[in-house]
Amino acid sequence: MPYTKPNFVVYIMIIERDIINKFKVWKDAPRRKPILLKGARQIGKTWAMEAFGKECFKYCVKFDFDRQPEVKSVFQATKDPLRLVKELTLYCDQPIIAGETLMIFDEIQECEEALNSLKYFCDEAPQYHIIAAGSLLGVAVKKRKMTVPVGKVNIVNMFPVTFKEFLRASDIRTYEYLESLDEIRHLPEIIMNKLRTEYRRYQVSGGMPEAVVALLDNQGISAVESVLQDILDLYELDFAKYAEPREIPRIHAVWHSLPAQLSKENRKFVWKVIKTGARSKDYEDALLWLVDAGIIYQVFNISKPGMPLSAYEDRDAFKVYACDCGLLRRLAHLPASVVTDPIANYTEFKGAMAENAVLQSIMPFLDDRKVYYWTSPGTAEIEFVIQWNDEIIPIEVKAEDNISGSSLSVYNKKYEPLHRIRFSMLNLQFNGGLLSSPAPLASWFDKLMTLVK
């Protein structure tokens, strides 16, 4: 059966989501806390929670505080977890049994008392399995000055469908080949060709589950475009619903400036691109709203790649990317036919699309660690710099096969990193500390780093 959200009916059974494996580890953890699931709208949070509940528990009950406002009264009457469980059974058709039932608290931002109850479940009734999630949770918490029970919940970040998940659904044999890699070596040309084709298709749909399924079900590009536009329209409605009235036009302006920001050769965010004469003090709250909503990623510049990277962060210099390359493409009105054409020349924006897709691929591996970028006093720039265990790793991104440019060499000469990475559409190899990888393999980032150690 499909699950429904406002204005959407999403069929995503064929997309196996890796986050369910994280849920399985959590289920059997001896010191388990309730999960607070965070992520942008329409990435499949509700489906993932329900799929996990159906697969791994005898019973699964969901309380939606937006659609079932009457449930709020239960949490407003008591903080005692055992009493809460007893009264919640009156609102569901299945029993709530410790160890056998998954409780889902959906749209939890609509009930602050339910959010606070997670603390008491953690302290007094850890035998119950609870996953809570909400739309624009970060935004709602700030707007309503709600208190998140920090230390009493496992905050888990969820992201759009990754290319790995996409490939598993679209071409299982190629996926299994990549999963079986046990050393860094050139990939067979047939694998490279399939990767190039599927990766370009992924950049068309992006990782929004409904758009992915529209593509993989061969519903046609018009169906994919319609899904993506519906999601963009929903985001616009969210601006009006969750933002302060005076901030709504500013959030709209910042969001719609994203293609222009990324079309510059130097992708550093420039306030005047939003509007002539725009200043940071007028628009920085709008930008932060989009960050809190999970719709954009803000990547700050660093003065040097030292440990920890946060100590060298320049708050005045940053780049902004979309949470999803498909949404970015649709927002920019870039035709799918251009993306799927390997020789199409759309200059700077082609590089921006490549960077956005790689960033989208590595984000799930970083937990809450930030991504940065580095520039030299001259013209050298490294697209992304991350902290991976005890290493600082520079990541260069090239859109196709052209890997000309001296930025990575400049960085290497200056800082001599143990490992450095270049993502392009060239084949896989490792030489002298440089991992050259096809960009689609960014979704196997953790595996690649294990293999080069």
- pTM summary value: 0.92
Question: Residue type at 379?
Answer: T
Share of the chain above pLDDT 70, in %: 97
106 three-class SS? strand
- Yes or no: say if 252 and 239 are a contact pair by the CB < 8 Å rule: yes
Lowest mean pLDDT among 98-107, 116-125, 138-147: 138-147
Neighbours of 223 (CB within 10 A): 16
pLDDT value for 148:
84
pLDDT value for 10:
44
pLDDT above 90 (res 200)? yes
pLDDT value for 13:
43
pLDDT value for 11:
44
pLDDT value for 345:
73
- Yes or no: say if 110 and 72 are a contact pair by the CB < 8 Å rule: yes
Domain covering 3-157: architecture:
3-Layer(aba) Sandwich (3.40)
Residue 41's Cβ-count burial label (10 Å; 0-12, 13-18, 19+) is middle
Domain ranges of the chain: 3-157, 163-452
* Average pLDDT, integer, range 62-74: 95
